[in-house]
Amino acid sequence: MSYSFNAADAAEKCVLWIRGWFEKNGPGCNAVLGVSGGKDSSVVAALLVKALGKERVIGVMMPQGEQFDIDYSIKLCEHLGIKSMTVNVGEAIEALKRAFPFEPSVQTVTNIPPRVRMAVTYAVAQSHNGRVANTCNLSEDWVGYATRYGDGAGDFSPISCFTVQEVKAIGRYLGLPEFLVEKPPLDGLCGKTDEDNLGFTYAVLDRYIREGIEPEPETKAKIDRLHELNLFKLKYMDCFKYE
């Protein structure tokens, strides 16, 4: 099974989709997104600039105390010429953890920062006539590598149907610097990359998703299990329908 991806076609169609979405859901509104300096937020920001113009895009940098790689975020905003602001979420996250009348689980502690960051992103959007862009890609969503109502939230999602390799290709087509396209994705907590935490590479996952090329049995079983466990994250909450 062969598979080819036309980054130019995908990017241009996505740009048109973004314009149409804003015409319907926020004429004249700004686009607001959290900027990490990684490929996903970089590509989404570049798509938004191409679709709406740099004057309508606001990048929000949200370090948790000291962030060693925040220069990537700063350089992205400078490269695109977009407005940006920094909101340090470190104190808020620590205060929230102290407020619990129980010892939060490891998973709870892991998910607090992205949920706080999404609250900040929406606060910026509401105060600046904005709509929030989701920056998740298909590969992450496939195995649930996103926090529901955290980085998995947003008002619209430009790249959620693109794999990691496709997002990188779009980034190169849009002229993003290579150091932004290839920045290893980090969880921001333990210093490990996403791929370290997952136990397999995105290249392996992407080939499985797009071409049906199965990895070794152990990895395939892990991917299939993660996908099944996290399907609920990709839909709206289940609602009781009274009839």
The answer to whether residue 230 sits within a structural domain is: no
3-class SS of residue 85? strand
Output the domain CATH number for residue 68: 3.40.50.620
Q: Render pLDDT for 190-233 as a digit per residue (tens, 0 to 9).
A: 567 888 889 999 999 999 999 999 999 999 999 999 999 999 99
Q: Which two tokens stand for residue 193?
A: 């990359």
Which pLDDT score is estimated for 185? 75
Task: Tell me, yes or no, whether 214 lies in a domain.
Answer: no
Is 101 among the domain residues?
yes
**Residue 52: inside a domain:** yes
Decide if 35 is inside a domain: yes
Cross-strand bridge partners of residue 86: 61
Of 43, 35, 1, residue with least CA distance to 18: 43
The whole-angstrom separation of Cα 23 and Cα 76 is 26
Reply yes or no on whether the pLDDT at 237 is more than 60: yes
Q: Is residue 197 part of a domain?
A: no
Q: Is residue 62 domain-resident?
A: yes
Structural domain of residue 166, as residue ranges?
Answer: 7-184
16-51: b or e for each residue (b if 16 or more CB lie within 10 Å)?
A: eebeebbeeebeebbbbbbbbbbbbbbbbbbbbbbb
What are the structure tokens assigned to 131, written together? 């709509």
Average the pLDDT over 116-133 and give the result: 98
Q: How many domains does the chain have?
A: 1
Residue 12 counted as domain residue: yes
- pLDDT single digits (tens) 1-26: 357 999 999 999 999 999 999 999 99
Q: Kindly report, residue by residue over 39-60, the tens digit of the pLDDT.
A: 999 999 999 999 999 999 999 9
Name the average pLDDT for the chain: 94
Radius of gyration from C-alpha coordinates of the chain: 18
Strands in the chain per DSSP E: 30-34, 57-61, 83-86, 130-132
Tokens of 192: 């490990």
80-110 per-position pLDDT tens digit:
999 999 999 999 999 999 999 999 999 999 9
- Please report the pLDDT score of residue 188 as a whole number: 55
What tens digit of pLDDT does each residue of 138-177 get?
A: 999 999 999 999 999 999 999 999 999 999 999 999 999 9
Q: What share of the chain is helix, strand, coil (3-state, %, to 5)?
A: 55, 10, 40
**What separation in angstroms does the CA of 62 have from each of 34, 35, 65, 142, 144?**
7, 8, 9, 25, 22
Cβ atoms of 213 and 176 within 8 Å: the answer is no
User: CA 220, CA 218: separation in Å to the nearest integer?
Assistant: 5
**Rounded Cα gap, residues 63 and 177, in angstroms:** 22
